[in-house]
């Protein structure tokens, strides 16, 4: 097995020392930064995530910061989700689209103040698109990547652990809201959010210097809670239907194809650069869409390329993420299915590198 050679282009994070000390076994690259994929094994990590609490180095969820009088206007140019009702202290999951309605990213937008936002990005170089819009439209806004690194605390015991480090009031933070909490004399954004369905928080660590002190404080405080280093878990996120940009969708897809129509208010999202294009496609409706996909039979290999979905000799879609689920005793998967075969219960075949396996298309995900 080859290794990924490390260099300055492949950025470490403020928590990398802790991740290595915890025995990380696998990495991927995300926003040009290291993202752990496995500690003990994907299955062991999965069971532990559902039973205890994990601390995740998700510093690779980089922030695009918008600061200035036109920050709100620029934010609305980026997304078809109507942001007018959004208050400081809220987080919104927002599709970001280009002028054709193609998905450029699916970040969490964090509204710090009327004139200050963080866009917590998935794996694409969104900064350049945002800077280009700000410059091209002569907006009065500063756009850059601040020294902010999210650290996620996920799992059923996340509240207990967080209360020990940040105080009991952290329990009062509601889903997709955030508050400001002190650590080592610094005020940090702590949101109830995260890339799992097990519940938990994300700490937006401002200033890399307090990364390891915070990592160590969480590990120390959670010993009797069986806290362990973890990472976004492939099996758990597929069960939960959490999409992965670059895997499950690309700029070739509209939000509607991605099942993100519920996060679009295209009629009222005035200023969104993709608005006209999306109004057109939304009227017709998509002709293919993301679905939960069950792959019957043996455990599938890692999905490192799209696997065709076939109805006889007809191509009807593709699988883009897949894993064996111990809890559901089947392969769980995410894919894009043409409308002729996207109804719940539809039976087709998937062609994996190991052969052909039977598939059932589902309307909803597993959790
Ligand atoms: N947290 C933060 N930044 C991120 C991610 C994150 N950036 C990268 C990546 N993850 C962006 N993608 C997602 C995908 C799904 C969700 C968040 C970010 C998510 N979805 C929930 C769901 O679909 O059930 C809730 C959506 C909602 O109801 O608003 O959480 O995880 N900071």
**Mean pLDDT in residue range 110-124:** 98
pLDDT at 282: 87
- Residue 242 Cα: closest atom of ligand 1: 15
Residues with a CB atom less than 6 Å from ligand 1: 61, 93, 106-108, 120-122, 150, 176, 193-195, 202, 242-243
Q: End of a domain among 123, 144, 165?
A: 144
Q: What whole-number percentage of the chain has pLDDT above 90?
A: 98
**Mean pLDDT in residue range 335-350:** 98
Position 2 pLDDT exceeds 90: no
The enclosing domain of 362 has a CATH number of 2.40.30.110
- 186 band by pLDDT with thresholds 50, 70 and 90: very high
- Residue 241 Cα: closest atom of ligand 1: 23
The enclosing domain of 34 has a CATH number of 3.30.1360.120
Q: How many domains does the chain have?
A: 3
- Residue 191 Cα: closest atom of ligand 1: 32
How many angstroms separate the alpha carbon of residue 199 from the centre of ligand 1? Answer: 12
- β-strands 91-93, 108-113: how paired? antiparallel
- 276 band by pLDDT with thresholds 50, 70 and 90: very high
Q: Say whether both 220 and 338 belong to one domain.
A: no
pLDDT at 1: 77
Tokens of 102: 């193609």
**Mean pLDDT in residue range 114-128:** 98
- Residue 123 Cα: closest atom of ligand 1: 8
- What tens digit of pLDDT does each residue of 278-307 get? 999 988 999 999 999 999 999 999 999 999
Q: Say whether both 347 and 233 belong to one domain.
A: no
How many angstroms separate the alpha carbon of residue 299 from the centre of ligand 1? Answer: 27
Whether residue 271 is contained in a domain is answered as no
Q: Say whether both 154 and 44 belong to one domain.
A: yes
Domain that holds residue 121: 63-144
Q: Which of 191, 23, 5, 11 is nearest to 109 (CA)?
A: 191
- 324 band by pLDDT with thresholds 50, 70 and 90: very high
Measured CA to CA, the distance from residue 117 to residue 109 in angstroms comes to 7
- Residue 121 Cα: closest atom of ligand 1: 7
**Mean pLDDT in residue range 43-56:** 98
Whether residue 200 is contained in a domain is answered as yes
Q: Say whether both 57 and 68 belong to one domain.
A: no
Whether residue 340 is contained in a domain is answered as yes
Whether residue 336 is contained in a domain is answered as yes
Q: Which of 226, 228, 200 is nearest to 19 (CA)?
A: 228
List the residue whose alpha carbon is closest to atom 8 of ligand 1: 122
pLDDT at 82: 98
Position 83 pLDDT exceeds 80: yes
Measured CA to CA, the distance from residue 144 to residue 113 in angstroms comes to 16
List the residue whose alpha carbon is closest to atom 25 of ligand 1: 93
Whether residue 270 is contained in a domain is answered as no
Q: Which residue has the tokens 């991740």?
A: 19
226: left (phi over 0), alpha (psi -120 to 50) or beta: left
Q: Say whether both 51 and 71 belong to one domain.
A: no
Measured CA to CA, the distance from residue 231 to residue 54 in angstroms comes to 8
Q: What whole-number percentage of the chain has pLDDT above 70?
A: 100
Q: Say whether both 135 and 68 belong to one domain.
A: yes
How many angstroms separate the alpha carbon of residue 17 from the centre of ligand 1? Answer: 26
Position 149 pLDDT exceeds 90: yes
How many angstroms separate the alpha carbon of residue 243 from the centre of ligand 1? Answer: 8
Q: Say whether both 156 and 232 belong to one domain.
A: yes
The enclosing domain of 96 has a CATH number of 3.30.70.1400
Best mutation site among 93, 118, 264, 365 for ligand 1 pocket (most ligand atoms within 8 Å of CB) = 93
Q: Say whether both 56 and 78 belong to one domain.
A: no
Position 173 pLDDT exceeds 90: yes
Q: Say whether both 30 and 169 belong to one domain.
A: yes
DSSP assignment of 222-257 equals: TGGGT-EEE---HHHHHHTT---BTTTB-TTS-TTT
Buried-state track 83-106, b at ≥16 Cβ within 10 A, e below 16 = beebeebbbbbbbbbeeebbbbbb
- What tens digit of pLDDT does each residue of 241-269 get? 999 999 999 999 999 999 999 999 999 99
List the residue whose alpha carbon is closest to atom 29 of ligand 1: 93
Q: Say whether both 112 and 124 belong to one domain.
A: yes
pLDDT at 352: 98
Position 215 pLDDT exceeds 80: yes
Q: Say whether both 155 and 228 belong to one domain.
A: yes
What's the pTM?
A: 0.98
pLDDT at 333: 98
Q: End of a domain among 124, 144, 164?
A: 144
How many angstroms separate the alpha carbon of residue 106 from the centre of ligand 1? Answer: 8
- Residue 240 Cα: closest atom of ligand 1: 24
**Mean pLDDT in residue range 46-72:** 98
Q: Say whether both 160 and 139 belong to one domain.
A: no
**What is the distance between the terminal CA atoms of the chain, rounded to a whole angstrom?**
34
Q: Which residue has the tokens 């403020």?
A: 14
Position 90 pLDDT exceeds 80: yes
pLDDT at 322: 98
Question: What average pLDDT is seen over the chain?
Answer: 98
List the residue whose alpha carbon is closest to atom 16 of ligand 1: 195
């Amino acid at each position: 097995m080859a290794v990924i050679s490390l260099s300055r282009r492949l950025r470490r994070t403020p928590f990398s020392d802790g991740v290595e000390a915890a025995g990380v076994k696998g990495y991927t690259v995300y926003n040009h930064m290291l993202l752990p994929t496995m500690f003990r094994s994907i299955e062991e990590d999965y069971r532990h995530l559902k039973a205890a609490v994990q601390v995740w180095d998700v510093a690779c969820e980089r922030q695009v910061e918008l600061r200035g009088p036109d920050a709100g206007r620029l934010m609305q140019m980026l997304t078809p989700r109507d942001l007018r009702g959004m208050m400081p202290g809220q987080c919104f999951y927002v599709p970001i689209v280009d002028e054709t309605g193609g998905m450029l990213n699916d970040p969490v937008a964090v509204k710090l103040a009327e004139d200050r936002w963080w866009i917590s990005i998935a794996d694409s170089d969104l900064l350049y698109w945002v800077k280009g819009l700000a410059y091209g439209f002569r907006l009065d806004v500063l756009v850059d990547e601040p020294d902010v690194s999210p650290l996620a605390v996920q799992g059923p015991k996340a509240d207990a652990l967080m209360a020990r480090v940040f105080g009991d009031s952290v329990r009062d933070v509601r889903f997709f809201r955030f508050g400001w909490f002190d650590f080592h004399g610094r005020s940090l954004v702590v949101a109830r959010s995260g890339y799992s369905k097990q519940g938990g928080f994300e700490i937006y660590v401002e200033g890399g210097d307090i990364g390891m002190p915070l990592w160590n404080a969480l590990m120390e405080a959670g010993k009797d809670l069986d806290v362990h280093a973890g990472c976004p878990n492939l099996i758990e996120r597929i069960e939960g239907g959490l999409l992965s940009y670059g895997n499950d969708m690309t700029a070739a897809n509209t939000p509607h194809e991605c099942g993100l129509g519920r996060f679009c208010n295209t009629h009222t999202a005035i200023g969104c650069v993709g608005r006209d294009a999306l109004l057109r496609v939304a009227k017709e409706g998509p002709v293919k869409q993301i679905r939960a996909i069950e792959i019957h039979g043996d455990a599938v290999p890692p999905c490192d390329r799209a696997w065709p979905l076939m109805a006889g000799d007809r191509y009807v879609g593709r699988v883009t993420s897949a894993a064996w689920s111990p809890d559901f005793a089947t392969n769980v998967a995410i894919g894009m299915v043409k409308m002729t075969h996207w109804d719940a219960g539809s039976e087709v075949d998937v062609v994996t590198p190991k052969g052909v396996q039977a598939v059932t298309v589902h309307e909803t995900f597993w959790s």
